[in-house]
């Protein structure tokens, strides 16, 4: 099962310009070639959304690039210079990858990336122009249809037959950011049959503009679709329009959320990350929690001012717990490790995971079975 953070990685990968020869290769093979030759545009593993792919043991690196939409196309134009053929950047862009173990096919749609995309953004923003009539939405249907016909278990005669047959139980999912997220939600909508209890193929999106009005979905039915949109709290695109499915609001990097202790109570913060993926650090009089590879960060205000401002316990996604006294000891241990090795903690997680895990286990208490 693909995790949310992995969908974030894949939605970011959709912005990379892959080579035609990359089709059929694993992400591991592509990444190794890119690290050696630096020959692909917008493929920077130092970006926060791609950072996790630096780890050679990341399961995503075994995924195979099945297909990709063409980056450019040619067309014939006639002007004062006569008739000529020109090359035009493709407004629509999508990649399809396959998990070699589960055989799930994941479509990652690229978001707004050129002037042509702004036209589509404007049409969505109007809320009155049907999505079925928009060029990029038609291109999304065509790309999904062609890819699943080539690599899926069944070949269909036309799009209508395919989208009627596939749905919530299909071994397929969609992801994307911004406009790409809107396209992913749209494919969930196209494969849903709510009257038959089918919420459509799963989509996990990031800061996607809501398309509910463009597809004629009522606010009552909107949350019935099999889609989850993760929204940056300050992103106006991701908070615009009627979203399909569930919306999860996250914290913007430039304005992190602040938590204050409720005096006299034993407070516990539940974090949607494993203990290995959580970094504690001091920020003035505050305690800051960062989650590398994601957009999330939390600040506990006035942590170092008084014990009254401390959160008693933090609980990770895997059930491990760390108390406020252990937090300070962990910060000191992390600082000592970084001084001794010359690595940042993020680098250590990738290059020395065994040592990092050993340190973390000293301070996080594993759940009892």
- How far is it, in rounded angstroms, from Cα 49 to Cα 39? 20
* DSSP code per residue over 122-138: HHHHHS-S-GGGSHHHH
* Beta bridge pairs of residue 286: 283
Give mean pLDDT, residues 139-146: 95
Q: What are phi and psi of 290, to 5 degrees?
A: -115, 150
- pLDDT band at residue 100 under the 50/70/90 scheme: very high
Taking residue 330's Cβ as centre, other Cβ atoms within 10 Å add up to 20
**Strand 227-232 relative to strand 202-206: parallel, antiparallel, unpaired?**
parallel
Record the tokens describing residue 124, joined without a space: 């969505």
- CA dihedral over 331, 332, 333, 334, signed as positive or negative: positive
Give mean pLDDT, residues 67-73: 80
Q: What are phi and psi of 89, to 5 degrees?
A: -70, 135
List of residues 6+ apart from 114 with CB closer than 8 A: 89, 91
Give residue-wise pLDDT tens across range 102-116. Answer: 999 999 999 875 444
- Tell me the whole-structure pTM to 2 decimals: 0.65
Q: What are phi and psi of 315, to 5 degrees?
A: -120, 130
CATH number, domain 4-250, options 3.30.1490, 3.40.720, 3.40.50, 3.30.930: 3.40.50
Q: What is the mean pLDDT of the chain?
A: 83
- Answer whether residue 286 shows pLDDT above 70: yes
- How far is it, in rounded angstroms, from Cα 176 to Cα 113? 13
- CA dihedral over 232, 238, 240, 244, signed as positive or negative: negative
Q: Of 65, 63, 116, 72, which is closest to residue 95 (Cα–Cα)?
A: 65
What are the residue ranges of helices labelled H in 213-323?
A: 219-222
Instruction: Answer for the pair 14, 2: CB distance below 8 angstroms, yes or no.
Output: no
Share of the chain above pLDDT 90, in %: 44
Strand (E) or helix (H) holding 117: helix 115-126
Angle at 209 between CA 204 and CA 210, to 5 degrees: 85
Instruction: Answer for the pair 109, 183: CB distance below 8 angstroms, yes or no.
Output: yes
Give residue-wise pLDDT tens across range 16-39. Answer: 999 999 999 999 999 999 999 999
- How far is it, in rounded angstroms, from Cα 258 to Cα 304? 14
Report how far apart, in Å, the C-alpha atoms of 31 and of each of 56, 91, 109 are: 9, 25, 19
Instruction: Answer for the pair 174, 14: CB distance below 8 angstroms, yes or no.
Output: no
Q: Say which range, 122-131, 215-224, 302-311, has the weakest mean pLDDT.
A: 122-131
- How far is it, in rounded angstroms, from Cα 265 to Cα 330? 23
- pLDDT band at residue 69 under the 50/70/90 scheme: very high
Burial of 88 (0-12, 13-18, 19+ CB in 10 A): exposed
Record the tokens describing residue 20, joined without a space: 């035609």
Q: Say which range, 163-167, 173-177, 185-189, 236-240, has the weakest mean pLDDT.
A: 236-240
Sequence spans of domains, the chain: 4-250, 257-361
Give residue-wise pLDDT tens across range 325-353. Answer: 999 999 999 999 988 988 888 888 888 88
In the block, tokens 């989650």 appear at: 291
- How far is it, in rounded angstroms, from Cα 20 to Cα 26? 13
* DSSP code per residue over 15-73: TS---GGGTTSBHHHHHHHHHHH--STT--TTSTTTGGGGSTT-GGGG-EEEEE--SEE
């Amino acid at each position: 099962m693909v995790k949310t953070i992995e969908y974030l990685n894949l939605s970011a990968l959709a912005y990379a310009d892959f080579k035609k020869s990359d089709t059929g290769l694993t992400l591991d093979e592509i990444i190794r070639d890119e690290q050696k030759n630096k020959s692909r545009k917008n493929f920077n593993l130092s970006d926060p959304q791609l950072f996790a792919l630096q780890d050679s043991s990341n399961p995503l690196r075994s995924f195979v690039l099945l297909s990709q939409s063409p980056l450019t196309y040619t067309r014939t134009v006639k002007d004062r210079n006569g008739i000529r053929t020109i090359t035009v950047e493709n407004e629509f862009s999508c990649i399809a990858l396959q998990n070699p173990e589960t055989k799930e096919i994941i479509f990652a749609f690229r978001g707004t990336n050129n002037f042509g995309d702004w036209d589509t953004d404007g049409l969505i923003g109007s809320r009155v122009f049907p999505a079925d009539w928009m060029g990029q939405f038609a291109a999304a249907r065509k790309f999904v249809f062609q890819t699943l016909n080539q690599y899926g278990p069944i070949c269909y005669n036309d799009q209508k037959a395919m989208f009627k047959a596939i749905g919530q139980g299909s071994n397929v999912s969609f992801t994307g950011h911004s406009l790409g997220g809107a396209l992913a939600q749209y494919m969930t909508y196209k494969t849903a049959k709510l009257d038959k209890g089918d919420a459509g193929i799963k989509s996990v999106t990031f800061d996607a503009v809501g398309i509910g009005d463009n597809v004629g979905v009522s606010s009552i039915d909107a949350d019935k679709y099999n889609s989850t949109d993760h929204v940056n709290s300050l992103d106006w695109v991701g908070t615009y329009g009627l979203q399909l499915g569930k919306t999860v609001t996250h914290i913007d990097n430039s304005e992190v959320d602040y938590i204050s202790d409720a005096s006299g109570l034993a407070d516990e913060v539940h974090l949607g990350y494993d203990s290995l993926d959580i970094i504690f650090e001091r920020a003035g009089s505050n305690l800051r929690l960062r989650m590398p590879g994601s957009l999330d960060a939390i600040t506990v205000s006035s942590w170092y001012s008084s014990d009254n401002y401390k959160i008693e316990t933090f609980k990770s996604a895997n059930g491990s717990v760390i108390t406020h006294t252990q937090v300070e000891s962990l910060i000191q241990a992390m600082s000592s490790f970084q001084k001794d090795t010359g690595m940042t903690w993020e680098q250590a997680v990738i290059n020395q995971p065994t040592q990092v895990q050993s340190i973390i286990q000293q301070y996080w208490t594993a759940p009892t079975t």
